[in-house]
Protein backbone atom coordinates (compact mmCIF):
# COMPACT_ATOMS: atom_id res chain seq x y z
CA UNK A 1 0.00 0.00 0.00
CA UNK A 2 1.15 3.51 -0.70
CA UNK A 3 0.09 6.79 0.82
CA UNK A 4 0.02 10.38 -0.26
CA UNK A 5 0.87 12.91 2.43
CA UNK A 6 -0.98 16.20 2.24
CA UNK A 7 -1.84 19.07 4.58
CA UNK A 8 -4.71 18.25 6.92
CA UNK A 9 -7.88 20.33 6.71
CA UNK A 10 -10.89 20.68 8.97
CA UNK A 11 -12.73 18.38 6.52
CA UNK A 12 -10.36 15.61 7.72
CA UNK A 13 -11.29 16.08 11.38
CA UNK A 14 -13.71 13.14 11.65
CA UNK A 15 -11.19 10.67 10.20
CA UNK A 16 -8.37 12.10 12.31
CA UNK A 17 -10.46 11.82 15.47
CA UNK A 18 -11.35 8.19 14.72
CA UNK A 19 -7.62 7.36 14.60
CA UNK A 20 -6.94 9.58 17.64
CA UNK A 21 -9.53 7.81 19.79
CA UNK A 22 -8.44 4.34 18.66
CA UNK A 23 -4.74 5.08 19.21
CA UNK A 24 -5.05 7.02 22.47
CA UNK A 25 -8.24 5.64 24.08
CA UNK A 26 -7.59 7.05 27.57
CA UNK A 27 -5.98 10.38 26.70
CA UNK A 28 -7.24 11.36 23.25
CA UNK A 29 -7.39 15.04 22.38
CA UNK A 30 -10.84 16.53 22.01
CA UNK A 31 -12.17 17.37 18.55
CA UNK A 32 -12.11 21.04 19.57
CA UNK A 33 -8.40 20.86 20.46
CA UNK A 34 -7.55 18.98 17.27
CA UNK A 35 -9.54 21.45 15.18
CA UNK A 36 -7.68 24.36 16.78
CA UNK A 37 -4.33 22.66 16.11
CA UNK A 38 -5.14 21.96 12.45
CA UNK A 39 -6.10 25.60 11.93
CA UNK A 40 -3.12 27.11 13.76
CA UNK A 41 -0.97 29.14 11.33
CA UNK A 42 2.14 28.20 13.35
CA UNK A 43 1.41 24.49 12.96
CA UNK A 44 1.72 22.00 10.13
CA UNK A 45 -0.59 18.97 10.25
CA UNK A 46 -0.42 16.21 7.66
CA UNK A 47 -2.68 13.31 6.80
CA UNK A 48 -1.69 10.13 4.99
CA UNK A 49 -4.26 9.18 2.37
CA UNK A 50 -4.21 5.59 1.11
CA UNK A 51 -4.75 4.35 -2.42
CA UNK A 52 -8.33 3.63 -1.33
CA UNK A 53 -8.77 7.29 -0.28
CA UNK A 54 -8.92 6.53 3.44
CA UNK A 55 -6.94 8.53 5.97
CA UNK A 56 -4.60 6.06 7.66
CA UNK A 57 -2.46 8.41 9.73
CA UNK A 58 -1.77 11.97 10.73
CA UNK A 59 0.95 13.98 12.40
CA UNK A 60 1.35 17.53 13.61
CA UNK A 61 4.14 20.01 14.17
CA UNK A 62 4.22 23.32 16.02
CA UNK A 63 6.88 25.42 14.31
CA UNK A 64 6.47 29.18 13.97
CA UNK A 65 8.40 30.42 10.95
CA UNK A 66 11.83 31.62 12.03
CA UNK A 67 11.72 30.01 15.50
CA UNK A 68 14.77 27.92 16.37
CA UNK A 69 12.70 25.25 18.15
CA UNK A 70 9.86 23.12 16.81
CA UNK A 71 7.72 20.50 18.54
CA UNK A 72 6.19 17.38 17.07
CA UNK A 73 2.79 17.49 18.74
CA UNK A 74 1.31 14.16 17.70
CA UNK A 75 1.78 11.18 15.40
CA UNK A 76 -0.77 8.41 14.95
CA UNK A 77 -1.20 5.59 12.44
CA UNK A 78 -4.33 3.46 12.10
CA UNK A 79 -3.93 -0.13 13.27
CA UNK A 80 -4.26 -1.62 9.76
CA UNK A 81 -1.45 0.63 8.42
CA UNK A 82 1.15 0.08 11.15
CA UNK A 83 4.57 -1.49 10.60
CA UNK A 84 4.70 -0.35 6.96
CA UNK A 85 6.83 2.79 7.27
CA UNK A 86 3.97 5.28 7.48
CA UNK A 87 4.97 6.67 10.88
CA UNK A 88 8.52 7.18 9.60
CA UNK A 89 7.21 8.93 6.47
CA UNK A 90 5.02 11.27 8.55
CA UNK A 91 7.81 12.18 10.98
CA UNK A 92 10.31 12.64 8.14
CA UNK A 93 7.89 15.03 6.41
CA UNK A 94 7.45 17.01 9.65
CA UNK A 95 11.22 17.24 10.08
CA UNK A 96 11.55 18.61 6.55
CA UNK A 97 8.83 21.18 7.27
CA UNK A 98 10.53 22.22 10.52
CA UNK A 99 13.78 22.73 8.63
CA UNK A 100 11.99 24.70 5.92
CA UNK A 101 10.57 26.97 8.63
CA UNK A 102 14.04 27.55 10.09
CA UNK A 103 13.98 25.28 13.15
CA UNK A 104 17.34 24.08 14.38
CA UNK A 105 15.98 21.75 17.05
CA UNK A 106 12.90 19.55 17.08
CA UNK A 107 11.44 18.23 20.33
CA UNK A 108 8.80 15.64 21.15
CA UNK A 109 7.43 13.63 24.03
CA UNK A 110 6.88 9.89 23.75
CA UNK A 111 5.32 7.50 26.23
CA UNK A 112 7.88 5.58 28.26
CA UNK A 113 5.81 2.44 27.60
CA UNK A 114 6.02 2.77 23.79
CA UNK A 115 9.40 1.28 22.84
CA UNK A 116 8.58 0.97 19.13
CA UNK A 117 7.92 4.72 18.84
CA UNK A 118 11.08 5.44 20.84
CA UNK A 119 13.11 3.31 18.43
CA UNK A 120 11.62 5.08 15.43
CA UNK A 121 12.56 8.47 16.84
CA UNK A 122 16.09 7.32 17.74
CA UNK A 123 16.55 5.98 14.21
CA UNK A 124 15.65 9.46 12.93
CA UNK A 125 18.32 11.14 15.07
CA UNK A 126 16.39 11.98 18.24
CA UNK A 127 18.00 11.54 21.64
CA UNK A 128 16.37 11.43 25.04
CA UNK A 129 17.12 14.56 27.06
CA UNK A 130 14.77 14.27 30.04
CA UNK A 131 11.77 12.56 31.60
CA UNK A 132 8.43 14.11 32.59
CA UNK A 133 7.13 11.95 35.42
CA UNK A 134 3.44 11.05 35.22
CA UNK A 135 2.94 13.22 32.12
CA UNK A 136 0.35 11.05 30.38
CA UNK A 137 -2.90 11.10 32.29
CA UNK A 138 -5.00 9.45 33.51
CA UNK A 139 -2.52 6.53 33.38
CA UNK A 140 0.36 8.38 35.04
CA UNK A 141 2.83 7.15 32.40
CA UNK A 142 6.11 9.04 32.10
CA UNK A 143 7.01 10.97 28.96
CA UNK A 144 10.49 10.76 27.53
CA UNK A 145 11.46 14.15 26.13
CA UNK A 146 13.52 13.75 22.98
CA UNK A 147 15.39 16.24 20.83
CA UNK A 148 16.83 16.19 17.35
CA UNK A 149 19.46 18.79 16.56
CA UNK A 150 21.26 20.96 19.01
CA UNK A 151 24.19 23.04 18.00
CA UNK A 152 23.45 22.66 14.29
CA UNK A 153 20.52 22.14 12.00
CA UNK A 154 17.69 19.78 12.87
76: CATH: 3.40.630.30
Nearest-5° Cα angle at 80, 55 to 116: 105
In a domain, 150, yes or no: no
Residue 31 belongs to what domain range? 3-106
In a domain, 119, yes or no: no
Structure confidence at residue 152 (pLDDT): 43
Mean pLDDT split into 10-residue runs, the chain, 154 residues:
95 98 94 97 97 96 97 96 96 98 97 95 97 93 95 44
Q: How many angstroms separate the CA atoms of 149 and 154, rounded?
A: 4
Structural domains of the chain, count: 1
Give the count of beta carbons closer than 10 Å to the beta carbon of residue 118. Answer: 17
Amino acid sequence: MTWTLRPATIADLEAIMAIERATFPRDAWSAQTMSREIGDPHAAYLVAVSDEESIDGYAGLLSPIGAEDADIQTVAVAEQARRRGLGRALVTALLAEAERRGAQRVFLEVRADNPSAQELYRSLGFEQISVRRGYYQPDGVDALVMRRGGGGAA
